[in-house]
Amino acid sequence: MTTTSQKTVSALVIRAKFSAAMSEMYRREVPLYGRLIELVREINNDILRQNPGLETELGSLDRVSEERHGAIRLGTPAELRTMAEVFAVMAMYPVGYYDLSVAGLPVHSTAFRPIDQAELAGNPFRVFTSLLRTDLLETSIQREAEDTLVKRDIFTPRLRELLRHHRDQGGFGEAEADEFIREALETFRWHATARVPRAFYEKLLSVNSLLADIVCFRGPHINHLTPRVLDIYRIHQTMEKMGIETIPEVQGPPQHCPILLKQTSFKALNEEIRFPEEDGGSSEGKHRARFGEIELRDCAVKPAARALYDKLIAEVNREAAGLRKEAGEAEYRRQYPAILERIFREGFPAWNHDELWREKLGYFHFRLKETEENPGKNAPIVDGGRQAEEVLETLCESGWIARTPITYEDFLPVSAAGIFKSNLDGRSGAIQTEEPNQTLFEEALGQPVLDSFALYAKEETASLTQVMWNLADRGWVR
């Protein structure tokens, strides 16, 4: 081993650099993305200036404005497995299973993301990663798609070598880390030349446009990169005013319901591409894949609240779809926010963080304050015989415990389906079988996906345990 004298670069540093490099590449590929990043920064700056306490609650402006997720679509189990290794180098692990067959799409997905509190606080970069489901295709198309996919390698030979080094050495030195970032980035790059003739592309497109997007190119080009904004309605309106073609509705819970995730996006660009033809020449065409998205992240919620959210959003979509059919797109766009608001006002019981806490619907992080943070107040003396829950309640009320919502770090299948669908080519067909298959996904991945609820619960419990330790430590328990 030659690297003993070389310092190992942490997963966090590699992830932060990789996320920045990806952002830089996407900014060059899709200039509109660069403009949105600037807008987001301005809005975030503004909001943090007006709400001084917010910065510590959410992390610094730099963290919030650096924060983003991307998305890719892979073709084969082998690609998914190697991708999982690439992400593991950056301490990003598969969390959750998302079934998109319910939306007529031949993919299922997971999100690779950091899972540890310190890793998330340092840089929460995530990648929504989908895998083609050839099991939902007709046998002849299935065979053609698989035959085409097996002939490509989406990873550079050097990246494969570096992954082997990482396995053997358990880490990267600085030069290797930089090389890893450069080589891994190649997998996410856009290629304006397809790998297949135009007729084949169009055949796949007529089955489903995701199928064409996945099978016909050299790699799984990053299809969007989403920054985190602190006021999603403001950016949605700004985008509309700028003449950017947005999706008609902000996806997610209503404006004043501070849970989960809200998202808006601009529609996929129709980009020029070239097809190699069998006669040795080439032909031209257009392809829709890459778009822009912005999101707002709020409090993670417990399973019961999540089930309620899913039920209400399904109701909203049913009613709104009816309206769209009867009254058309413009009316749908105009009335959607009111439908969303009404159905949630009737059905969802918590509209601020205090209510989420009281109703036991949200996940929270607790911290015992220092005496200097409560000048002039006596130390709270806690009766050791009381239930932990009561102690917690009292200390929160008396201002000795700081309670902050745990940020939702994952995605929403209904929102994702809406975003996928708004970006399909108009010529796209839909898949008819609705059928989740998590086992198939996990077999492809070579490992089970992690349960996000368990991760949030663990984070909440760890902070409570810490509070109890600190109380005992300071001699405040009698």
Residues that bind ligand OOG (CB under 6 A): 71, 73, 128, 130, 223, 263, 293, 411, 415-416, 419-420
Q: Give the count of residues interacting with Ni ion (CB under 5 A).
A: 2
The β-bridge partners of 382 are 477
Written as one letter, the residue type at 265 is: S
Complex with ligand OOG: residue 198 or 224, whichever CB lies closer = 224
Complex with ligand OOG: residue 183 or 410, whichever CB lies closer = 410
Shortest distance in whole angstroms from residue 225 CB to Ni ion:
9
Among the listed ranges 223-231, 282-290, 332-340, 358-366, the one in contact with Ni ion (CB under 5 A) is: 223-231
Shortest distance in whole angstroms from residue 179 CB to ligand OOG:
28
Closest by CA position to 17, among listed 121, 156, 123: 123
Among the listed ranges 20-28, 182-190, 220-228, 360-368, the one in contact with Ni ion (CB under 5 A) is: 220-228
| Residue carrying structure tokens 């806690």 | 382
Contact partner, 123, from ligand OOG, Ni ion, none, Cβ < 5-8 Å per class: none
Contact partner, 223, from Ni ion, ligand OOG, none, Cβ < 5-8 Å per class: ligand OOG
Complex with Ni ion: residue 9 or 92, whichever CB lies closer = 92
Q: Which residues contact 163 (CB under 8 A, 6 or more apart)?
A: 82, 85, 86, 89
Are 215 and 146 in contact, with CB atoms under 8 Å apart? Answer: no
Residue 75: CB atoms within 10 A of its CB come to 23
Shortest distance in whole angstroms from residue 40 CB to Ni ion:
14
Shortest distance in whole angstroms from residue 420 CB to ligand OOG:
5
Shortest distance in whole angstroms from residue 42 CB to ligand OOG:
22
Among the listed ranges 118-126, 230-238, 289-297, 466-474, the one in contact with Ni ion (CB under 5 A) is: 289-297
Complex with ligand OOG: residue 109 or 463, whichever CB lies closer = 109
Complex with ligand OOG: residue 95 or 163, whichever CB lies closer = 95
Shortest distance in whole angstroms from residue 259 CB to ligand OOG:
16
Shortest distance in whole angstroms from residue 363 CB to ligand OOG:
20
Complex with Ni ion: residue 100 or 382, whichever CB lies closer = 100
* x-marked contacts with Ni ion along 46-65 as a string, rule CB under 5 A: --------------------
Complex with ligand OOG: residue 286 or 358, whichever CB lies closer = 286
Shortest distance in whole angstroms from residue 335 CB to ligand OOG:
23
Contact partner, 420, from ligand OOG, Ni ion, none, Cβ < 5-8 Å per class: ligand OOG
CA 133 distance to own-chain centroid: 20
C-alpha to C-alpha distances, 176 to 90, 147, 182, 185, nearest whole angstrom: 13, 34, 10, 14
Are 127 and 111 in contact, with CB atoms under 8 Å apart? Answer: yes
The β-bridge partners of 293 are 265
Complex with Ni ion: residue 368 or 424, whichever CB lies closer = 424
Are 300 and 409 in contact, with CB atoms under 8 Å apart? Answer: yes
The β-bridge partners of 94 are 112
Shortest distance in whole angstroms from residue 51 CB to ligand OOG:
26
Complex with Ni ion: residue 233 or 351, whichever CB lies closer = 233
As given in the structure block, the two tokens for residue 382 are: 């806690």
Among the listed ranges 5-13, 57-65, 290-298, 369-377, the one in contact with Ni ion (CB under 5 A) is: 290-298
Complex with Ni ion: residue 287 or 290, whichever CB lies closer = 290
Residue-by-residue DSSP string for 86-132: HHHHTT-EEEEEEE-GGGT-SEEEEEEE--SHHHHHH---EEEEEEE
Are 285 and 273 in contact, with CB atoms under 8 Å apart? Answer: yes
Return d(Cα 129, Cα 134) in angstroms, integer: 16
Shortest distance in whole angstroms from residue 451 CB to ligand OOG:
19
- The dihedral over CA atoms of 332, 335, 424, 99, expressed in degrees to the nearest 10, equals -120
Closest by CA position to 425, among listed 208, 113, 245: 208
Strands 107-113 and 126-132: antiparallel
The β-bridge partners of 52 are none
Are 132 and 74 in contact, with CB atoms under 8 Å apart? Answer: yes
Contact partner, 366, from ligand OOG, Ni ion, none, Cβ < 5-8 Å per class: none
Contact partner, 120, from Ni ion, ligand OOG, none, Cβ < 5-8 Å per class: none
| Residue carrying structure tokens 């598969």 | 94
As given in the structure block, the two tokens for residue 170 are: 């358990």
Q: Positive or negative CA dihedral for 384, 387, 389, 391? A: negative
Complex with ligand OOG: residue 129 or 463, whichever CB lies closer = 129
Residue with the closest Cβ to ligand OOG? Answer: 416
The CA angle 259-264-269, to the nearest 5 degrees, is 155
Shortest distance in whole angstroms from residue 154 CB to ligand OOG:
15
Contact partner, 416, from ligand OOG, Ni ion, none, Cβ < 5-8 Å per class: ligand OOG
Q: Which residues of this chain interact with Ni ion, rule CB under 5 A? A: 226, 293
